[in-house]
Amino acid sequence: MGIRITGLGKSAGSRVVTNEDIASFVDTNDEWIRTRTGISQRYFTAEGETTATLAADAARQALKHAEREDVDMTAVATMTPDTPCPSTAGWVQGELGLGGGAIDLNAACSGWVYSMALCAGAIETRALESALVIGAERFSYILDWEDRQTAVIFGDGSGAAVIERTEGRGDLLACDLGNDGSIAHLIQIPAGGARLPASIETVEKRLHTVDMAGKEVFRVATTVMVDTCRKTLAKAGVSVEDVAVFIPHQANIRIISYAIEKLGMPEERTVVNIDRYGNTSAASVPIALCEAWENGRIDEGDLVLVAGFGAGMSWASALFEWSLPR
């Protein structure tokens, strides 16, 4: 018994923001951004768009694709929830008129893979029959526009997948999840929680925006991306040569290039869309997965490897044997 992916969907903020747009109010330029990150543009939300509306849009597409009107669980991976309480998943569920359970999961950029693994486990133990697994982020409202290291990187978007129980082996062959809390401080939003509640002082000090130790994160990311992929492949008993499509978290083109070199993954098998979307955190992998399938890069029977890393510091990877027909 296992799970099958039966529907996919994706969404992005309605405003296209180019590097030139960013450079008009941040001390940077197009060449600096492109050479260091690989990003040319990203999408930001407009008035009325939130993490929940992006998630609902992608979810609506995935449900239609799967020819389903309801699921047993709506899971939203996000670190930019609409509200601390209730969950963003609750807002999405209400918007779409869904039943079943609703839950948020925060593993930052690894969140969608985490959510997929946990929902798949619940399906395999018959706690659920189906689930809507969403990664959604609205980073544009938590960026410090005086910090060009973070301000130029992130974008807003959402990706979703419907998964259902199957009596066969299923699509998900293996996964690996991990986190190193000893270096959790490398990426954080310091204020706004119970540790440091919102105050005039926290707002004035910009403690409600993303703070990232870029060089340290790069060092960790390049290591854990390779390690987690190797562990997942070993669990499945396959090699890099068997993987038809590799979908890494779209954080930085240099990290992706390093990872595929160390893994021995051919560039032509690697999906890269960071140039158009930027880093959409938990939405990164499902957006790229949906786009790769739509563009005909994934066929039935292909082994598809996905991987993410992010705040926590978290990491995750999963291997699918693709069964969704075109």
Q: Which residues are catalytic?
A: 109, 249, 279
DSSP designation for 47: T
Whole-Å CA distances, 248 to 114, 131, 150, 304: 14, 23, 20, 11
The separation between the first and the last C-alpha atoms of the chain, rounded to the nearest angstrom, is: 23
C-alpha to C-alpha distance for 117 and 39, rounded to whole angstroms:
29
C-alpha to C-alpha distance for 92 and 77, rounded to whole angstroms:
12
Contact 312, 179 (CB under 8 A): yes
Element spanning 152, H or E:
none
Taking Cα atoms as reference points, which of 85, 86, 92 lies closest to residue 52?
92
Contact 209, 143 (CB under 8 A): yes
Q: Is the dihedral of CA 204, 207, 208, 214 positive or negative?
A: positive
Radius of gyration of the chain (CA): 19
What are the structure tokens assigned to 203, written together? 């707002």
What are the structure tokens assigned to 301, written together? 């029977």
Q: Give the contacts of 95 (CB within 8 A, at least 6 positions apart).
A: 52, 53, 56
For residue 147, the one-letter residue type is D
What are the structure tokens assigned to 285, written together? 């992998």
Taking Cα atoms as reference points, which of 126, 172, 138 lies closest to residue 15?
138
